[in-house]
């Protein structure tokens, strides 16, 4: 999976489930200039057999020649079956699907558009790169990471084969000019570029365009950490706006030392906190970086349960306690929020994090950081309320061209 694909799967998380909005099904046809991996949803026998036949033929670049009828037939067969599988998934309740393939000819795109009629809306996403250095880098990453070349011991042989594959695609390539489409031209380099949009309307397609305008592949770390232990943490109470405990104050100093060493050469880095004083106090000892408060980073609103312990909720509000236990993702505190509400209000934070080209330290709260971490780590919605997010631990998410890597630093027990 390449770095642009990582962005797309995070986009599904961002837009895939909204508590108060019904979305029509949408398929994004992603035609990458550098990669040709086909990503399929679901698993059915006929698709597996077709894929097996396809894999037997995919021994070298000749398979991708436009004048190889056997190869063209096999690739079209797999594409059609994958599309059928995608549509079936949509009909079962799916909202956003990403069909990742080159789709580099008008004939292939028309085939997919005809299959989509009456089933879902479609958008073609075409990325164009004219920077030879980036193309060279991506080819080398492809050879190193793609399963297509996992059994090729000779790197140079794989390199030449993939370049031949690209040449074959270039011979039959026809620019996207039909239907709804988004073209990203030289956006990867970070030096401006263009984005062209055609026949795009509606809430969800508009949000996709907004997301793509703001994304980039500049390597930079995002550091996630909970506030230092608070006085409410000591008493096992939820919500509130309490001060730090003595232990929490020690963590704030350790965090400051860590940030100073880790980001000493990053003058453009910034510190983001919620508007609650336990995060502001945790950031207090950090100097030399701008600090930004986000209300969207505030802890999940526990409503009438604010300030209570879970034992008190179980004793005094047993029905609420059991409802939360059954479905933590969708459970909403009386006069408060659910995890889905938190995810929705985090959208501007996520977009701004995608825009940043310098490191960001996010000091926030357990529920909020679970949602942010799930977005970057591509974790399913249902797992979000159960992701481990311990106190006094830093999670470093490294963003870059090869995707997302993670490191954890436990500063205190």
Q: What is the dihedral of CA 159, 165, 170, 175, to 10 degrees?
A: -110
Residues 214 and 109: their CA atoms lie apart, in Å, by 27
Q: Which of 227, 320, 341, 392 is catalytic?
A: 227
Asked whether residue 226 is marked as a ligand-binding residue, the answer is yes
Q: Report how far residue 156's alpha carbon sits from residue 405's, in angstroms, rounded to the nearest whole number.
A: 27
- Is 386 annotated in a binding site? The answer is no
Q: Is 7 within any annotated ligand binding site? A: no
CB 137 within 8 A of CB 402: no
227 is catalytic: yes
Query: Is 336 annotated to bind ligand?
Result: no
Residues 6+ apart with CB under 8 A from 259: 223, 271, 286, 289, 361
φ/ψ of 294, rounded to 5, equals -120, 125
Query: What is the H or E stretch that residue 27 is in?
Result: strand 26-31
140 is in an annotated binding site: no
User: Is 299 a residue of the active site?
Assistant: yes
242 is in an annotated binding site: no
H helix or E strand, kind and range, residue 273: strand 270-273
75 carries a ligand binding annotation: no
The one catalytic residue in 148, 299, 320, 341 is 299
Strand partners, 202: none
Per annotation, catalytic residue among 85, 100, 126, 341: 100
Three-state DSSP at 360 gives strand
Residue 278 marked as a ligand binder: yes
Question: Which one of the listed residues 85, 120, 126, 129 is annotated catalytic?
Answer: 129
The answer to the question of whether 228 is labelled as a binding residue is yes
Q: Which residues are annotated as a binding site?
A: 226-233, 278
Q: Which residues are annotated as a binding site for substrate?
A: 226-233, 278
Active-site residue set: 100, 129, 227, 299
């Amino acid at each position: 999976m390449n770095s642009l694909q990582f962005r797309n799967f995070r986009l599904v998380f961002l837009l895939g489930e909204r508590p108060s909005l019904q979305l029509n099904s949408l398929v994004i046809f992603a035609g990458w200039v550098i990669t040709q991996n086909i990503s399929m949803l679901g698993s059915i026998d006929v698709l597996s057999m077709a894929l097996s036949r396809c894999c037997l033929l995919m021994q070298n670049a000749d398979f991708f020649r436009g004048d190889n009828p056997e190869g063209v037939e096999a690739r079209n067969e797999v594409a059609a079956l994958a599309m059928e599988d995608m549509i079936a998934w949509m009909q079962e309740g799916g909202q956003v699907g990403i069909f990742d393939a080159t789709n580099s000819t008008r004939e292939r795109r028309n085939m997919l558009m005809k299959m989509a009629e009456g089933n879902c809306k479609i958008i073609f996403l075409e990325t164009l790169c004219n920077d030879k250095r980036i193309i060279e880098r991506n080819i080398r990453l492809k050879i190193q990471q793609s399963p297509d070349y996992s059994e090729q011991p000779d790197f140079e042989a794989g390199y030449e084969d993939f370049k031949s594959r690209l040449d074959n695609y270039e011979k039959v390539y026809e620019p996207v000019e039909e239907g709804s489409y988004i073209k990203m031209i030289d956006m990867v380099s970070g030096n401006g570029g263009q984005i062209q949009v055609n026949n795009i309307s509606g809430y969800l397609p508009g949000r996709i365009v907004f997301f793509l305008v703001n994304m980039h592949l500049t390597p930079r770390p995002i550091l996630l950490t909970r506030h230092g232990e608070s006085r409410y943490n000591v008493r096992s109470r939820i919500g509130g706006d309490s001060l730090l405990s003595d232990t929490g104050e020690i963590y704030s100093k350790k965090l400051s030392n860590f940030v100073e060493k880790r980001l000493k050469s990053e003058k453009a880095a910034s510190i983001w906190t919620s508007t609650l004083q336990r995060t502001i106090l945790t950031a207090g000892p950090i100097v030399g970086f701008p600090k930004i408060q986000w209300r969207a980073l505030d802890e999940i609103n526990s409503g009438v349960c604010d300030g209570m312990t879970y034992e008190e909720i179980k004793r005094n509000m047993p029905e609420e306690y059991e409802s939360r236990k059954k479905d933590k993702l969708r459970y909403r505190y009386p006069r408060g929020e659910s995890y889905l509400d938190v995810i929705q209000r985090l959208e501007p934070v996520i977009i701004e994090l995608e825009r940043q080209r310098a490191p960001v330290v996010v000091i926030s709260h357990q529920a909020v950081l679970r949602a942010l971490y799930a977005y970057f780590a591509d974790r399913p919605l249902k797992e979000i309320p159960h992701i481990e997010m311990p106190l006094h631990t830093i999670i470093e998410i490294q963003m870059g061209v090869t995707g997302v890597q993670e490191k954890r630093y436990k500063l205190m027990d």
